[in-house]
Amino acid sequence: MELNRRRFLGLTGAALGAGALGKPSRVSAARAYQPPPDAYGCLVDLSVCVGCRKCEQACNQVNHLPEPERPFDDLTVLDDKRRPGPEAFTVINRYYTGRRDERNQMAPTFVKVQCMHCQDPACASACIVGALTKKPNGAVHYDVDKCIGCRYCMVACPFQIPAYEYHDPLTPRVRKCTFCFERISKQGGKPGCAQVCPVEAITFGKRSELIKLARQKMVDDPGRYQPYIYGEKEVGGTSWLYISREPFAKMGFLKLPNQPMPHLTETIQHGIFSYMWAPLSLFALLGGAMAVFNRKRDQGEDKS
Amino acid sequence: MSAHSHAAPLQGKARFWSPGALVMAALAITGLLFVVGRYIGGLGAVTHLSQSHPWGLWIGVDVASGVALAAGGFTTAALAHIFGRHAYEPVVRPALLTALLGYVFVSLALLVDIGRSWAIWKPMIFWNPNSVLFEVAMCVMIYTAVLHVEFLPVVAERFAHGFKASLANRSWPVVALAEAAEGLLAFLNRNLGKVMWVFIIAGVVLSCMHQSGLGSLLLVAPTKMHALWYTPILPLLFLTSAIAVGFPMVVFENTLVSASFDLADEMGILSRMVRITILLLGVYGALKIGDVIARGVWPLIFDGSVQGRSFAVEVLFGIVIPWAMLLFPKVRNHRTPLFIAACMVVGGVVVNRMNVFLVAFQPPYPVQSYFPSVGELAITAGFIAALMLAYRFTVYFLPVLSPAGKEANS
């Protein structure tokens, strides 16, 4: 009987182990998600940006965000590194990378930060109610009517973008760049920031076209750019893409794997729950064990 | 399953408002005040949660540890009812009650933690099968219902007869209601027994699913997790640790309860039960240690970082030392050393869950490092205190514990 119990425990463990571990290879092929083929994107050319903060201002206006404490023409704001938050969906940060201009002065490089609108977003995979979704036009869209405020999206996001209204007691929202979902849904519409940029550092267009454009820029102006498009491959690709004169690592860009973030969790989840095979097998196994052990008891053999 | 029980309510055998119970009440009320504060000023007013640290103490302790420590419910149910070890029957009901209350309080803690508490029903309508959290939520919800069904015989045993009689002098609607309740209880008690096996097995299956699911939660953020804890087998570690902590948790609560109510403990049963823990904790420990060796990240334990030390504490005091202690019959057969070993296993699992959800979580752009606020600590303490009071209340009025043991032993 001792042996029996061990064997059953062992079998149970093996079944669970297989459920938790054994499936990745088989199911990874079955992970059905495909990024939208016609997604829009934005290509940010950091070698052009002058750090005027006009994009921040436009973002504030089109999204009806509250007036900031310091006005948008106050460039001393750039003295600190900022992050997007509940009241600012995009911010410009200034970096000194060691590059010098023609007068041998330290030359600043400006980096626009906002939601990257991943092709295979971790937030959308994580969201318990599917309030975050990747739209065919490329936007990672937030539906406040579904949100319960669990903040798993914030845990999941590799770029640390979704921000939370922590001081709202009953109806806090997750806040992030919307990719101006309504505007780009209209013919000829552009995101507020891309529309306003006075130096055309932000190019809005089909993501696939933007990658070609980025390559063309590198060919047309040899030596101007790092031979790298940030966002082409990161976490399975992002709708926002960056090209730069200086190495990305010097300007707060994260080194991220090419594999989409939801890969492992979705592989495990779908591995265990495809046709509910794992729970049902475990149920059958335990049912069998119960029948065996309790039959013995009924026959008066229980010496436990 | 209830046929074997000699359980009886403690009402009249001990006093309810012991000094400890009063302390618990004070803690619970303090926690409640902070909960009120949370619903006036928002999460920001009472917590140290931030844009970089969206999950804090409540997720690490109230939810993740709470679920793990409720594992005594399904492990004892499996042992006594599925694997037919009926000698363990006396500890099944208290463990079941701990699990039931544990899950109720996990749900309450979640209610306070999520920003839109009133929207907590929405996952039932809006499904995202890709979400690990969705799976965990569904399992927790169904399992909480299953626990209520499993506990129903206890209620029925107490109230199925004589409920109406005690209300004889009341007005007719009260009597009618009592009659209906009594009829329903009697009906369920008669018929549930036949299908209870379905619920018992379902409870074990659901537990296995969401215990492991909790471990999958943070796998969606590989770049934010410290390498010591980020492992593809994290779900398996969560499951095996939950199974391993089940019986030590029974020891823990049984010792506390019998001390508090001055009852005879179930040392005979507990000593035998923890022999199985040697195997279960051994499996967990082997997987845990094997994992950091296999992935080659073990040198990080000794790099002097908070994470390295925290991992060492978790493994050494939560697994290795209590496991070694349990090998000795002298530990297993004596109340105090057994209680200490059980506390270490329980504490080890709590430290593990806090490590995974708080210590290992390293956001790329930290706004500030996270340390729980007074409000968070007070609410967590309040929930634990309220749970213990609810436990006390239940065993006082319902047949959960088997107090007959004292006379038999002494």
pLDDT at A298: 61
Share of chain A above pLDDT 70, in %: 87
The rounded distance, in Å, linking the Cα atoms of B123 and A173 is 17
The rounded distance, in Å, linking the Cα atoms of B270 and B284 is 20
Are the Cβ atoms of B361 and A265 closer than 8 angstroms? no
Are the Cβ atoms of B85 and A304 closer than 8 angstroms? yes
ipTM, two decimals: 0.92
Write out pLDDT tens, residues B327-368: 999 999 999 999 999 999 999 999 999 999 999 999 999 878
Beta-carbon-side half-sphere exposure of residue B319 (alpha carbons within 13 Å): 25
pTM: 0.90
Run of H or E residues at B20: helix B19-41
Please list every residue in chain A whose beta carbon sits closer than 8 Å to the beta carbon of residue B120.
Answer: 148
Q: What is the mean pLDDT of residues A79-85?
A: 95
pLDDT at B261: 86
Least Cα separation, residue B183 to chain A (angstroms): 30
Residues 344-403 of B with CB under 8 A from A: 361, 363-365, 367
Are the Cβ atoms of B86 and A304 closer than 8 angstroms? yes
Run of H or E residues at A110: strand A106-113
pLDDT at B161: 62
Evaluate if residue A253 carries a pLDDT over 80. yes
**Main-chain phi, psi angles of A167, to 5 degrees:** -100, 5
Name the stretches of chain B with pLDDT < 50: 1-4, 405-410
Both structure tokens of A138: 């490329």
Evaluate if residue A185 carries a pLDDT over 90. yes
Contact A59, A192 (CB under 8 A): yes
Which of A293 and A179 is assigned the larger pLDDT? A179
The rounded distance, in Å, linking the Cα atoms of B410 and B391 is 26
Contact status of B128 with chain A (Cβ, < 8 Å): yes
Write out pLDDT tens, residues A4-63: 444 444 444 444 444 444 444 444 445 678 899 999 999 999 999 999 999 999 999 999
3-class SS of residue A64: coil
Nearest to B123 among A148, A166, A272 (CB): A148
Residues 270-299 of B with CB under 8 A from A: 279, 283
Run of H or E residues at B154: helix B132-159
Mutate to test the interface with B, among A290, A293, A294, A302 (most CBs of B within 10 A): A290
Least Cα separation, residue B125 to chain A (angstroms): 8
The rounded distance, in Å, linking the Cα atoms of B351 and B364 is 23
**Main-chain phi, psi angles of A240, to 5 degrees:** -90, 135
